[in-house]
């Protein structure tokens, strides 16, 4: 492939955080013929303390071994070696000669410091594994695992054969419930078979004695074939393992691992808990699971992928459910509503404030897809591996280096570090050897992320504001259906914003490529025409606060927009912006919606009955609508751009009514509509007639004075 070292150097010199040192000399066969050049660089790096970057990933193992063998080179613990692939992703394409800006972007991103470390989640496994399935299959699997793990078998029905020797625990019964994760599974089953496998000596006398053949070498009675001769009970007298009168026994045990050989898995979610393997009747799947299980004894750590701020959560207030986006999208069922917080105030200093709730995320079940952070409208849930600040810095660095090198119309291709990387590499190699493939175009910048669902609308729009033409997300077999729909909904919102602002073209797209058979379609999709870009790339940095990043991106896009509409209608699904429509004929100004709003978008006025609103703060969670006792509130997803976008940041009055004046002292209290509504509802009540009804029209102070002035007329209801 062609490399223009001077052009790369010039681009990197202009990119903050990147270095052009060492690019004056380019090595074409560094991994083999010119390996000594790497050793010299490793030695120089060890002496200077500088980090080393190798633009080759194929021979990563070789370079690491060479580093260990080079005298004077620092260990990778002292000085990490960074690797970046510029061959399949840049040079191996029909656009290889025009790929210099892309290669500059890849090198600049690879030089960024590692993201800040995150907290970890620990698992502890003593190697106790439960094998679920028919006797034959379970015994076969147990034999493969017995030398490495403590095996227990649970068979649910008669049939097959158990081993004669008692080499491991064997149970019988129907599994009622299985929950947990690696190191902490709880299995609950009900044992109703007459033969107790703990007591059974497997002498086979019962098999010989049964005239119906209802007992086989699984040592279970087929009750549908049994005619109640009970010859089996007679021959088992010494062991006493058979008892037809024994009531069903409920059994619960804990295990560290589970191997499920049944046709239907115990967990139906897209991503089952770690430590659970479903092989069904697939022999290849069984061997893969066995190899993985044998390695799962000991202590294991994984990153805690998420950060959650309950104070920002729009899930529930005052026992009313609003936003459920994170719960709905989670493919591991790691997120649930936190009912335990209902009935608790906000905390110190908020004893009289709104009753709040939130969600609970079980970190042991979370696999780090990040989809919860993508769909969260308020930013209460954020992805931490890496966080948005680090991820945003990476995207901005790539776009900056690409622009400095003369690149135009950059398309960011977000893909996973697993299957996504393999698809991109396969396409690059195909383009190298097969003329029907084009390979990654020069304007397509591949960005490997932990999971494609972890990057959402805030970073997408920020990238467009920073000069990108498009953001594409490559989906593989790793993505759950929930993620695909969530990403599609978010892209529809982002595209509506850009289209409304007059930026022509399709800026966002999901590219689906499950395996190598989809390479041709992927190759064609990557050659889609560019969309309109901003006239001047933004220089802002992505913020930790999702809403703050969105506001920065929107402000820049609006300032340079070809069109200036009053408002942009947004799709209802996943819209993080919008207004409220108040039915003034229904609203009584009870202000329950103000107490329900988790983001202070709604507020009252201490001076007069007003419902005030700051549209910028609204996350369209719907808590106000479900809380309103009069059903007077409707959500209106939109982006309001009046007065250059300033109007949505200002406080405006949604509804205002005349106050009701106390009939005794004329002090304003309540609202006319509210008092009239209350009087109408209580008009037929026996306890609110005459003077009691009149007191409903008085303020609190006058009501007390009137009660003491006319003690003979005071009712229990007044007290």
DSSP string over 113-173: PPPPP--EEEEEE--EEEEES-HHHHHHHHHHHTTTSEEEEEE-SS-S---SS--SEEEES
Residue 716 has pLDDT above 60, yes or no: no
Q: Which two tokens stand for residue 340?
A: 């335990």
The pLDDT assigned to 318 comes to: 79
Per-residue pLDDT, 351? 38
In tens, the pLDDT along 398-432 reads: 999 999 999 999 999 999 999 999 999 999 999 99
pLDDT of 714 > 60? The answer is: no
Is a pLDDT exceeding 90 seen at residue 146?
yes
Q: Band of the pLDDT at 696, cuts 50, 70, 90? A: confident
518-569 per-position pLDDT tens digit: 999 999 999 999 999 999 999 999 999 999 999 999 999 999 999 989 999 9
Supply the pLDDT for residue 262.
95
Domain segments of the chain as ranges: 5-30+84-116+386-552, 304-383, 577-656, 659-713
Instruction: Output the pLDDT for position 345.
Output: 45
For range 16-29, the mean pLDDT = 71
Q: In what order do the strands lie in the sheet with 578-582?
A: 567-569, 633-640, 578-582
CATH class of 577-656: alpha beta
Asked if the model's pLDDT at residue 135 lies above 70, the reply is yes
Q: DSSP letters of 254-285?
A: EESEEEE-SSS-S--SSSPPTTEEE-TT-HHH
Task: Give the span between the Cα atoms of 221 and 214, in whole angstroms.
Answer: 6
pLDDT above 90 as % of the chain: 69
Q: Token pair for residue 578?
A: 């919008």
Confidence of residue 715 (pLDDT cuts 50, 70, 90): low
* Nearest alpha carbon to residue 466 among 410, 387, 528: 410
pLDDT recorded at residue 281: 86
Q: What pLDDT does residue 350 have? A: 38
Taking only the tens place, the pLDDT of each residue in 364-402 is 999 999 999 999 999 999 999 999 999 999 999 999 999
Structure tokens at 150: 């403590």
**Measured distance CA(421)–CA(290) in Å, rounded:** 27
pLDDT value for 215: 93
| 222 Ramachandran zone, left/alpha/beta (phi>0; psi -120 to 50) | beta
How confident is residue 22, by pLDDT bands cut at 50, 70 and 90? low
Same fold, 304-383 and 577-656: yes
Please state, for a pLDDT cut of 70, what percent of the chain lies above it.
96
Higher pLDDT: 28 or 714? It is 28
Collapsing DSSP to helix, strand or coil, 472 comes out as: strand
pLDDT confidence of residue 48: 84
pLDDT of residue 447: 98
Pick the CATH number of 304-383 from 3.40.50.11290, 3.40.50.200, 3.30.460.10, 3.30.70.20: 3.30.70.20
Q: Give the pairing of strands 52-54 and 508-512.
A: unpaired
Q: What is the pLDDT of residue 30?
A: 72
Report how far residue 444's alpha carbon sits from residue 472's, in angstroms, rounded to the nearest whole number: 9
Lowest mean pLDDT across 303-307, 515-519, 600-604, 640-644: 515-519
- 583-635 pLDDT, tens digit each: 998 998 889 999 999 999 999 998 888 999 999 999 999 999 999 999 999 99
pLDDT digit string (tens) for 110-122?
999 888 889 999 9
Calpha distance 179→184 (Å, rounded): 8
Give the side-chain half-sphere CA count within 13 A for 256. 19
Q: Rounded distance, CA 207 to CA 209, Å?
A: 6
Separation CA 101–CA 549 (nearest Å): 26
pLDDT of residue 516: 74
Which of 7-21, 478-492, 517-531 shows the lowest per-residue confidence on average (mean pLDDT)?
A: 7-21
In angstroms, the Cα distances linking 458 to 436, 602, 640 are: 37, 23, 18
């Amino acid at each position: 492939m062609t490399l223009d070292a001077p052009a790369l150097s010039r681009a990197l010199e202009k990119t903050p955080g990147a270095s052009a040192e060492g690019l004056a000399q380019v090595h074409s066969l560094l991994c083999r013929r010119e390996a000594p050049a790497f050793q010299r660089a490793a030695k120089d790096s060890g002496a200077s303390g500088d980090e080393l970057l190798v633009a080759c990933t194929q021979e990563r193992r070789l370079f690491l071994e060479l580093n260990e063998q080079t005298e004077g080179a620092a260990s990778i613990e002292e000085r990490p070696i960074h690797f970046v692939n510029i061959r399949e992703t840049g040079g191996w394409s029909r656009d290889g000669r025009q790929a210099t800006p892309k290669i500059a972007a890849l090198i600049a991103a690879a030089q960024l410091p590692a993201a800040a470390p995150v907290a970890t989640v620990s698992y502890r496994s003593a190697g106790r594994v439960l094998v679920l399935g028919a006797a034959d299959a379970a015994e076969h699997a147990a034999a493969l695992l017995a030398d490495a793990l403590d095996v227990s078998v649970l068979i649910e029905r008669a049939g097959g054969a158990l081993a004669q020797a008692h080499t491991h625990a064997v149970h019988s019964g129907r599994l009622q419930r299985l929950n947990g994760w690696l190191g902490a599974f709880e299995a609950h089953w009900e044992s109703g078979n007459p033969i107790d496998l703990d007591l059974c000596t497997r002498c086979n006398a019962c098999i010989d004695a049964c005239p119906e053949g209802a007992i086989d070498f699984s040592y279970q009675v087929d009750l549908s074939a049994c005619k109640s001769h009970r010859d089996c009970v007679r021959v088992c007298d010494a062991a006493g393992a058979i008892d037809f009168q024994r009531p069903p026994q409920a059994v619960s045990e804990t295990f560290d691992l589970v191997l499920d050989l049944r046709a239907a898995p115990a967990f139906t979610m897209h991503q089952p808990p770690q430590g659970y393997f479903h092989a069904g009747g697939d022999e290849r799947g069984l061997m893969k699971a066995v190899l993985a299980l044998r390695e799962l004894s000991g202590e294991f750590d994984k990153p805690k992928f998420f950060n959650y701020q309950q104070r920002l959560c729009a899930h529930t207030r005052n026992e009313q459910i609003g936003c459920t986006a994170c719960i709905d999208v989670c493919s591991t069922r790691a997120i649930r509503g936190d009912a335990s917080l209902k009935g608790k105030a906000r905390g110190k200093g908020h004893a009289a404030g709104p009753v709040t709730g939130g969600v609970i995320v079980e970190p042991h079940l979370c696999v780090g897809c990040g989809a919860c952070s993508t769909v969260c409208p308020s930013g209460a849930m954020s992805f931490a591996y890496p966080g948005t600040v680090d991820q945003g810095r990476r995207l901005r660095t790539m776009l900056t280096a690409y622009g400095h090198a003369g690149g135009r119309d950059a398309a960011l291709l977000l893909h996973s570090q697993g299957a996504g990387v393999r698809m991109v590499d396969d396409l690059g190699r195909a383009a190298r050897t097969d003329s029907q493939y084009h390979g990654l175009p020069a304007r397509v910048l591949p960005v490997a992320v932990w999971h494609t669902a972890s990057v959402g609308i805030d970073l997408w729009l920020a990238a467009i504001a920073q000069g990108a033409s498009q953001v594409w997300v490559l989906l593989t077999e790793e993505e759950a259906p929930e993620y695909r729909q969530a990403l599609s909904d978010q892209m529809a919102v982002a595209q509506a914003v850009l289209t409304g602002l007059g930026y022509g073209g399709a800026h966002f797209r999901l590219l689906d490529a499950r395996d190598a058979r989809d390479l041709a379609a992927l190759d064609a999709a990557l050659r889609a025409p560019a969309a309109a870009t901003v006239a001047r790339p933004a220089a802002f940095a992505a913020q930790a606060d999702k809403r703050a990043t969105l506001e920065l991106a929107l402000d820049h896009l609006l300032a340079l927009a070809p069109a200036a509409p009053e408002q942009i209608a947004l799709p209802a699904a996943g819209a993080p912006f919008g207004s409220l429509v108040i039915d003034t004929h229904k609203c009584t100004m009870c202000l329950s919606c103000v107490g329900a709003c988790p983001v202070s978008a709604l507020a009252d006025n201490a001076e007069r009955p007003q419902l005030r609103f700051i549209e910028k703060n609204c996350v369209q969670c719907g808590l106000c609508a479900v809380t309103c006792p009069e059903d007077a509130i409707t959500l209106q997803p939109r982006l309001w751009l009046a007065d250059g976008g300033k109007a949505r940041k200002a406080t405006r009055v949604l509804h205002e009514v005349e106050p009701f004046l106390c009939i005794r002292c004329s002090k304003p209290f309540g609202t006319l509509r509210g008092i009239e509504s209350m009087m109408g509802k209580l008009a037929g009540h026996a306890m609110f007639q005459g003077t009691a009804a009149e007191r409903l029209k008085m303020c609190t102070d006058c009501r007390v004075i009137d009660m003491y002035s006319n003690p003979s007329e005071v009712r229990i209801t007044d007290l």
